Structure 1
Amino acid sequence: MGPANQPKEQKLKELEAMRQKTIFVMPIAGAIFVLMLWEVLLSQVSFLPPFPLSMETFNKISFILATPVMFWIGKPFIDGVVRFIKYKAANMDTLVGIGTLVAYFYSSIMLLFPSIKTLLQAPEGLYYDVTIIVIGFITLGKYLEAKSKLKTGEAIEKLLGLAAKSAVVIRDGKEVEIPIDQVVVGDIVIVKPGQKIPVDGEITQGTSSIDESMITGESIPVDKTVGDTVIGATINKHGSFQMKATQVGGHTVLSQIITMVESAQGSKAPIERIADQVSGIFVPIVLVLAVAVLLLWLTLGSQFMPFSQALSLGLIGFVGILVIACPCAMGLATPTAVIVGVGKAAQNGILIKNAESLEKFQSINFVVLDKTGTITNGTPAVTDIQIVAKLAQKKTLQLLASLEKHSEHPLAQAVVEKAQGENIGFLPVSNFKALEGKGLEGTIAGVHYVAGNIKLAEELGLKIDTNIIKEFTSQGKTPVIFAAKKSIIAYIAIADTIKEDAQEAVAALHKLGVKVAMLTGDNIQTAEHIARQVDIDQVIAEVLPADKANEVRKLQKKGYKVAMVGDGINDAPALATADVGVAMGTGTDVAIESAGITLLGGHISKLPKSIKLARATMRVIKQNLFWAFFYNIVGIPIAAGALYPFIGIMLSPAIAGAAMAFSSVSVVANSLLLKRYRL
């Protein structure tokens, strides 16, 4: 078992130890709680049978039970008190520790030294029940909390489980199965149908259909052929192929995703830092307040009641305040929601670098989209073929693609891909020649053909239909003229096509109240044509790469919270300048490093989903913090005895402990509801 599993093993051991303690303490706490209620209700409810034990016997049994509970089960709380004495550093455990120790030692002194009890005229009832019930319920709460936290880390566990355990490689001309950690860059790996791809690489032989849903969140398999990259942990659906390993170990896409998710789940959002600061001030204030309440009961209270009663009520108030003020729920409010939110995002192909990005993302009200690779696919494709000669479209495309197949120009590749997509075969070409900056020419079946730009057509004296050319260029498309025997056969338009989900994504952003701008180096005519198709609010065109960050700053100066979305190296400064940078997962490493959020698979439709998730996560954090603070603000005065002069009620520290444990568990449960949030 690898190092990645060791933290999980350690956590499971700790959880098992907590479970054993909970199993020991809860029957005791439950029994004492029932007996405590029985004693309290005995004078109020006539049908209850008499208390089964004498008070002296009950106190002795309570002492025997409370001692292991205090010093074994309650050791973490005692440690909190020791740290406070040594380092003056108080935390949540300090409050519980002081409260339960005071209750335990007061009760033990009264039990073991009856003369002191007589001198103080102390009541028969002691406070062992406080020690047992408070520690019992808080231990149960901590166990349930730890168990829930382990569940929130399931996203990492699932990601780790995706990795292949072994790989079949070619070594010395033979196929050898080796552990995954022995694969090195450059190895030729064989992948068969149904197998997980072991590492990142490039197909060198064969074709297949790959299920990349575990990485990108997209359910439709992707066709791959020679030269295409494949990602480790994705599943080979059909066909065998060979691939060359390009990234192994901690450098694979899966490893980087795990690292990013772990880092994000461990990071703190600004709102959590505020909660930490409040807790740091809150604990010492509570300690002072608890002592002040005890002194007030002893001084003022003793003027209206016997000293023994004032002492009893003062101790109840002192311990009650320490227990109910324990800011456990406050401390859990943010990290549990962040862990679940980041995990949920990762399962949907959205990588969040840290909690700060998550918090900032929920307030985004302006999104700037880079055009190429973000709104568009980033690769040219044939969009129109207008034939002006007496020739069928299929035959025209076959002739043109046969010629273009011999060129490496991106526009030529677009024509070839169009023909391949329509299962059109290629014809042999002779006398092929590339015409630098203009086009190409060649002979097919004895006929001389040319294909190229307007400049080439004009040089050859071809009669150009300017209306067709204007129609293409007005839409931001590049015209290609195909001709033979001094006459034009067809006009072909090639353009970077809009992503299928771009319009849906922009519409979803508008529904969220987010404005959308497109940022591009293209001319204004081309940019506006694309913007109209996807309903973009603002076009910022003819921008040099170095000026993209300045355009983002201009929007920020207008008061907008800006997210920049891009995929190229030239987008990196703008991604870093924006309030939140969003990288398309198909982009460069530089863009991804500069971004706070990465959308795997290059699907822009994940952008509104990630904003929705960020808002939902922050909503849960605010709910958690509200109830945590509300609980403390309301609970402390009641525990201090604010209701006693009016209705004669003091909040039992035991009930305060149960309520505090419940509040912590409810915060974790509220955070776990994010798992069910529909994006």
Structure 2
Amino acid sequence: MQGHSDQGHTNHESHRESHEGAHGDYHSGMVKEFRRRFWVALIITIPILLLSPMIQQFLGLREQLRFPGDQLVLFILSAFLYFYGGKPFLVGIVREVKTRDFGMMTLIALAITVAFVYSAAVTFGLPGEVLYWELATLITIMLLGHWLEMRSISGASRALESLVKLMPSVAHRIKNDGTVEDIRVDEIQSQDTVLVKPGEKIPVDGTVVEGESSVNEAMITGESTPVYKGKDGDVVGGSINGEGAIKVMVTRTGEQSYLSQMIKLVQQAQQGKSKTQLLANRAAVWLTAVALVGGAVTLVVWLILGVEFAFAIERTVTVMVIACPHALGLAIPLVIAVSTSISASRGLLIKKRPAFESSRSIQAVLFDKTGTLTEGKFGVSDIVSLDESFDRDKLLLWAASVEAHSEHPIAKAIVESAAQTLAVSEFRAIAGRGAQGMVEGKQVLAVSPAYVKEKGYDYQKGRVSKLLESGKTVIFVIVDEKVTGAIALMDIIREESKEAISRLKAMGIKTVMITGDNQKVAQWAAWEMGIDEYFAEVLPQEKVEKVKEVQGRGLFTAMVGDGINDAPALATADVGIAIGAGTEVAAETADVILVRNDPRDVVSILELARASYRKMVQNLFWATGYNVIAIPLAAGVLYNLGVILSPAMGAALMSISTIIVAVNAKILRVG
């Protein structure tokens, strides 16, 4: 058995590595490549600096560091650094030229090529000063910038790998004869039953068929509190079983599992082009043109002014480095990667990136009521005692005792609300009206208002009228022919709904509820939750018209529903949000999928969208704003005042901008 388990582990590792290869190997390889090239470049740069005349003169060590053939050695070291350290940029310019998609690689490659070719010409006879030291520092700094950037991107993508690693490699399958065998997870089939022991990770999506436990779903939904799971409870592969052993019937395997679909959605979101990203790409093209034209103009103007060719070339190189849109290429993708990782870890799955970004502009949110703002099942909301000898608890206890023998949904709701029940004799159902039985020697009836009216029972109508007027379902409790109280039931409002509505209104967003319930029920529910507006008695196919009506007021609108029967409305809204999708993560029409049945996650996704947009704008500023000042300085407009930027300083400024962009994206926080 041990050998079999090891084999399962090996195969699972292979399966895991195939996932990680799709998501992480590229970035991991790029990180290693730039790290290696950076360290080699840094080592080579040190002797290049020491052999460069300008640096020797600056250090006052010109005589001490000179030796026969030193300039030839300097050329050889610089040539090696140009071809080895500069390879990523030289390969990049070839690719950009072929695709006619000029960008940052073109600028860097042009800058280092101009510097190297010019310096080589000086080494072999052309009058002027060599720029090898600037070439070396430029390449080294650029490699460092690339390394840091790729490492940041790789780090932001690790959420995908962590999702895969959630899955155990072996499962305990229960055979037909009741014995248990350990098999590889990828051998499990739908309808199989597996045993999950206390403390183990649940290997599959399924339904509990025996046992009960609390399950930690924090890595799946972001909810830190363990969730109780009993018979018929749904569990998700990757979550952690608590204190009890449970038997789970498999419902989804492989690519259909929640975790696999979650990984797919996160991957699509990270790869998707956002509106802001497209804007950044257009800005990069313009900066490329500015760099090429600016470099050419700088060279020509300085030559016309009669300066040395070496100085003109130096100004040209610096302009190209300063204008390089390198940080711009990172500004948006890194924010996307970080925000997607944050959302996935909290159970907020971004399916369509442009719609998610647009959600920052939402002005109205329409909620489907049943199953979204409410739990979708009846529960006791009010208990009114009309007899001093029956307090609220006793009234509920006696009613639940009678209703425990009934199969009616309302009866079940009353029983579920009671802590216990008493023994009942002579039980009898009253067709269409309720039920009756003997409790502790007294005749107890739990009946509808229609029955009370038909029989002409007298009671304190004022105390019950509000319940009846609110549209709630009311059950009267009659003990020995006396009306002792009333119990009101309604679709239970989720505890989180009020907070969600309050937070949305604080954000200046109008809240609207759509329900098929009657006007009274809708009015009461809207008042209870603080909702601005409601549409009652709306048929499922009419929800689309209500969405269009709100849009017709000029409001950018989101629709929040269960992702199934609300599909047309979700598709019609500017942003469709499927809430409480649980394992139903493939809701085709939704733009954003919220795993938990928690309306507050709607607020979270809007806050994340706003925070992400702010980071994108900040990064675009840091990536391009410094050009306004730096490019003229690089060109030498303040040369007469003694202010001048060298290529190395230009590279340093550009790299600082890049690092600021990377750090700014990484510190994205929500809530």
Same fold, TM-score > 0.5, yes or no: yes
* Alignment CA distance shift 1:447-1:104 (3 Å): same
* Mapping for residues 363-442 of structure 1, pairs under 5 Å: 363-388=361-386, 396-419=395-418, 422=419, 424-425=420-421, 427=423, 432-433=428-429, 435=431, 437-440=432-435
Partner SS for 1:570: coil
| Counterpart residue number, 2:662 | 668
* Alignment CA distance shift 1:25-1:568 (3 Å): closer
Q: Give per-residue Cα distances to partners, 1:256-296, cap 9 Å, x unaligned.
A: 22222221122121011111122234324432332233233
* Alignment CA distance shift 1:85-1:10 (3 Å): closer
TM-score normalised by length of structure 1: 0.89
Matched, 1:624 2:636: no
CA distance in 2, matches of 1:319, 1:567: 58
Following TM superposition, by how much is the alpha carbon of 1:314 offset from its aligned partner in structure 2, in angstroms? 2.1
Q: What residue identity is the alignment partner of 1:142?
A: H
CA distance in 2, matches of 1:581, 1:88: 37
CA distance in 1, matches of 2:442, 2:235: 42
Q: Give per-residue Cα distances to partners, 1:156-181, cap 9 Å, x unaligned.
A: 22222222222111124220111221
* Mapping for residues 60-75 of structure 1, pairs under 5 Å: 60-75=72-87
* Alignment CA distance shift 1:559-1:187 (3 Å): same
* Alignment CA distance shift 1:503-1:62 (3 Å): same
CA distance in 2, matches of 1:191, 1:614: 38
| Counterpart residue number, 1:328 | 326
| Counterpart residue number, 2:41 | 25
Could you list the runs of 5+ residues in structure 2 that have no partner in the other structure? Answer: 1-12
2:282 pairs, out of 269, 277, 282, with: 277
CA distance in 2, matches of 1:531, 1:505: 13
Following TM superposition, by how much is the alpha carbon of 1:188 offset from its aligned partner in structure 2, in angstroms? 0.7
* Alignment CA distance shift 1:652-1:33 (3 Å): farther
* Mapping for residues 187-202 of structure 1, pairs under 5 Å: 187-202=192-207
Alpha carbons 1:566, 1:591 under 8 Å: kept: no
Alpha carbons 2:56, 2:65 under 8 Å: kept: no
Partner SS for 2:565: helix
TM-score normalised by length of structure 2: 0.90
| Counterpart residue number, 2:653 | 659
1:107 pairs, out of 84, 109, 119, with: 119
6-15 vs 650-659, which deviates more?
A: 6-15
Partner SS for 1:625: helix
| Counterpart residue number, 1:561 | 556
| Counterpart residue number, 1:4 | 19
Partner SS for 1:549: helix
| Counterpart residue number, 2:522 | 527
Q: Give per-residue Cα distances to partners, 1:628-678, cap 9 Å, x unaligned.
A: 11123332222222222x32544222221222222212211110011xx25
Q: Give per-residue Cα distances to partners, 1:40-76, cap 9 Å, x unaligned.
A: 973xxxx955564349855323212111211122112
* Alignment CA distance shift 1:56-1:474 (3 Å): farther
Alpha carbons 2:422, 2:439 under 8 Å: kept: no
141-150 vs 494-503, which deviates more?
A: 494-503
CA distance in 2, matches of 1:523, 1:362: 33
| Percent of residue pairs bearing the same amino acid type | 35
Q: What residue identity is the alignment partner of 1:104?
A: F
Matched, 1:348 2:346: yes
Q: What residue identity is the alignment partner of 2:104?
A: M
* Mapping for residues 12-161 of structure 1, pairs under 5 Å: 12-29=28-45, 32=48, 39=55, 42=58, 48=60, 50=62, 52-54=64-66, 59-112=71-124, 114=125, 117=126, 122-123=127-128, 125-161=129-165
Alpha carbons 1:26, 1:140 under 8 Å: kept: no
Matched, 1:543 2:548: no
Following TM superposition, by how much is the alpha carbon of 1:589 offset from its aligned partner in structure 2, in angstroms? 4.0
Report how many aligned residue pairs link the two structures.
Answer: 653
* Mapping for residues 513-524 of structure 1, pairs under 5 Å: 513-524=508-519
* Alignment CA distance shift 1:182-1:407 (3 Å): farther
CA distance in 1, matches of 2:50, 2:512: 65
| Counterpart residue number, 2:209 | 204
Following TM superposition, by how much is the alpha carbon of 1:335 offset from its aligned partner in structure 2, in angstroms? 0.8
* Mapping for residues 470-619 of structure 1, pairs under 5 Å: 470-483=465-478, 487-567=482-562, 569-586=564-581, 589=584, 592-619=587-614
* Alignment CA distance shift 1:492-1:639 (3 Å): same
Partner SS for 2:200: coil
Matched, 1:229 2:241: no
| Counterpart residue number, 2:219 | 214
Could you list the runs of 5+ residues in structure 1 that have no partner in the other structure? Answer: none
* Alignment CA distance shift 1:85-1:374 (3 Å): closer
* Alignment CA distance shift 1:352-1:83 (3 Å): closer
Following TM superposition, by how much is the alpha carbon of 1:32 offset from its aligned partner in structure 2, in angstroms? 4.3
329-338 vs 527-536, which deviates more?
A: 527-536
Q: CA RMSD in A?
A: 2.8
Q: What residue identity is the alignment partner of 2:85?
A: I
CA distance in 1, matches of 2:406, 2:70: 95
